[in-house]
Structure 1
Amino acid sequence: MAVRDTDVNVQGSALAGQHVLLGVTGGIAAVDTVRIARELRRQGAQITVVMTNAAQRIITPLAVRWATQGEVITDWDGDMQVLDGVDGVLVVPTTRDTLASYLHGLQNGPLLMALSVARSRGNPIMMVPSMHIDLANDPITDELVDRARHQGISIQWGNEEEGK
């Protein structure tokens, strides 16, 4: 039973003992980060978060820290030791810019560096794209998603709501 406001009631063990790196990008869906993080914790996950600068303009690191009760990385850390114990990476929301930057090997922030490290270590990566329907239907987006899947990245589209 939860006692403190930061506690969660564990509802399952699907992620028990798993250390999840949660990447948060600048899509407006970042407002759901608190809910998603708490659900991961309800399933037993330990969470470390890497937020892009754009994500920090939508939701504060303080709110994310409260939800995860874990470390929130917002700036470069050359060695990224936190990745040593990571079992998997979940990027939600994943903007098209983040997906394209990752696939093209860009390293313009700690999340992209973390994704490259995870790829080189063979950690599973799941991305949940979030974008306007016009961007989602762009053939370039299809190409990016196909390339990501070809590299072994799990891409999970959410439900379309209000054209997004």
Structure 2
Amino acid sequence: MSILKDKNILLGITAGIAAYKSAHVVRLFIKAGANVKVVMTPASKDFITPLTLSTLSKNPVYSSFTDEEDDNEVWNNHVDLGLWADVFVIAPATANTMAKMANGVCDNILLATYLSAKCPVYFAPAMDLDMYKHQSTKASFKKLTAYGNKLIPAGTGELASGLVGEGRMAEPEAIVKFIENDILVQLPLYGKRVLITAGPTYEALDPVRFIGNHSSGKMGFEIAKAASNLGAEVVLVTGPTHQKIENHLVAVKPVVSAEEMYKEVHKHFKSSHIAILSAAVADYRPKNVADQKIKKKDTTFTIELEKTKDILKSLGEIKTNQFLVGFALETNNELEHAKGKLKAKNLDLIVLNSLRDKGAGFGVSTNKVTFITANNTIIENELKSKANVAKDLMELILKQTHA
């Protein structure tokens, strides 16, 4: 999953031969999960058709202030477009358009939208070598970047004139990567590593049977998404689950048993800044595991159990600068038990949820939690989606750590 997922991206296209690459830029944004709209200068339609861009973006394309084919002349509101966008990318950006942007000239809908935009604006220059090196073009670059716009550097290669040199618009993949990286480095958890556990553990009884629980892993996976959306590098240690996550910032480490989870967590804890242990780890496991399937013989069957290692407590004993978060699923005396766990395991924060709360617990998409901090501040929350609980948790951690 890209950091651009669900973002509203407005792509501006100007009248340069590199406009043919804009179709691929749209396609890559869509592939990244973004919502895309296109605004064009009137002259750019000589280089690429609005029909192509509309088909790829799945949205109308805007090239004038009114819909030319509509007898009622419906107004295309450049202010609404500017407010809609989370990111405005102008690619290609010609010398003509950049000069107008730099000097506040507003003679088409793209320029009017640019002057109305409240979001970050990126521009990818595209022109011939001599134009690129001209003092007026350099002045446009300087002004535009001074205004806070972000220059996506042009590449070097064969140009439309046949010359070889600087001025070739950055390739579509490079444009998307530049924007992704620029957004990423500004996020509050960029450069931080977050260790998360999720799901159940299965403790083998024999080769075909196990002792487990009903945890689906949904909560942990939502926390991983929320942390990665804040720019963190995430290590997600998960027990058996059907949950999936596709994000280059999230490294999934599948395990089965409590012992495997213990080892995997300890492998990554030292290099982590934040650890959030939301997995439902078995407290006990069969003392003796049969190497063959146990046959049904007697009316009753007794299993001798032994304690598993307490992963959360073991981390609390060795933590240095890590911010350690635990989860407590309780059925009675909830606050008392959660506070005891917070102190006994040397946690910085504990997330309490009760099986007595309707809509909370295993296997559902909602949760009702209470956050308890190390100084005993209690923050009760209403029933929310697990995605929103994860966002609330990460926001609280940011406040607690001043990340």
> Normalising to structure 1: TM-score of the pair?
0.87
* Count of equivalent residues: 150
Distance 2:124 2:56 in 1: 19
Structure 2: which amino acid aligns with 1:52? Answer: T
Q: Where do 5+ consecutive residues of structure 1 fail to align?
A: 1-11
Instruction: Report the CA distance between 1:44 and its aligned residue.
Output: 1.2
- State the structure with bigger RCO (CA 8 A, min sep 6), 1 or 2: 1
Greater fraction of residues in helix = 1
SS at match of 1:160: strand
CA deviation vs aligned residue, 1:2-60 (integer Å, no higher than 9, x gap): xxxxxxxxxx3221111011000001000111111000111111011001111101110
**Residue type of the partner of 1:88?**
V
| 1:43-82 paired onto structure 2 within 5 Å | 43-76=32-65, 77=75, 79-80=77-78, 81-82=80-81
Q: Would you tell me which structure has more strand in proportion to its own residues?
A: 2
Cα contact 1:47–1:71 (8 A) shared by 2: no
Q: Which residue of 1 aligns with 2:6?
A: 17
Following superposition, the deviation at residue 66 of structure 1 comes to: 1.2
State the alpha-carbon separation in 2 of the partners of residues 108 and 149 from structure 1.
21
Write the distance in 2 (CA, Å) between the matches of 1:127 and 1:86.
15
Cα distance change, pair 44–78 in 1 and its aligned pair in 2 (3 A): closer
Q: Which one of 26, 29, 33 corresponds to residue 18 of structure 2? A: 29
Instruction: Give 1:83 shift.
Output: 3.0
- Report the aligned-residue RMSD: 1.3
Asked whether 1:152 is paired with 2:143, we answer: no
Structure with the greater alpha carbon radius of gyration: 2
Q: CA deviation at 1:78?
A: 5.7
The residue matched to 1:152 in structure 2 has which SS? coil
In the TM superposition, what whole-angstrom CA distance separates every residue of 1:135-163 from its partner, at most 9, and x where no partner exists?
Answer: 11112111110111111100112312113
Correspondence 1:110-129 to 2 at 5 A: 110-118=109-117, 121=118, 123-129=119-125
> Do residues 86 (structure 1) and 46 (structure 2) align?
no
Residue matched to 1:6: none
**Alpha-carbon deviations, 1:85-137, whole Å to 9, x = none?**
2111000000010000111111110000000001xx3x100000000011111
SS of corresponding position for 1:49: strand
| 1:139 matched to 2:135 | yes
- 2:69 counterpart residue number: none
Structure 2 residues without counterparts, runs of 5 or longer: 66-74, 159-163, 169-403
Q: What TM-score does the superposition give when structure 2 sets the normalisation length?
A: 0.36
What fraction of aligned residue pairs are identical, expressed as a percent?
26
Do 1:21 and 1:48's aligned partners in 2 also have CA atoms closer than 8 Å?
yes
Cα distance in 1 for residues equivalent to 2:27 and 2:135: 34
Secondary structure of residue in 2 paired with 1:161? strand
1:5 aligns with none
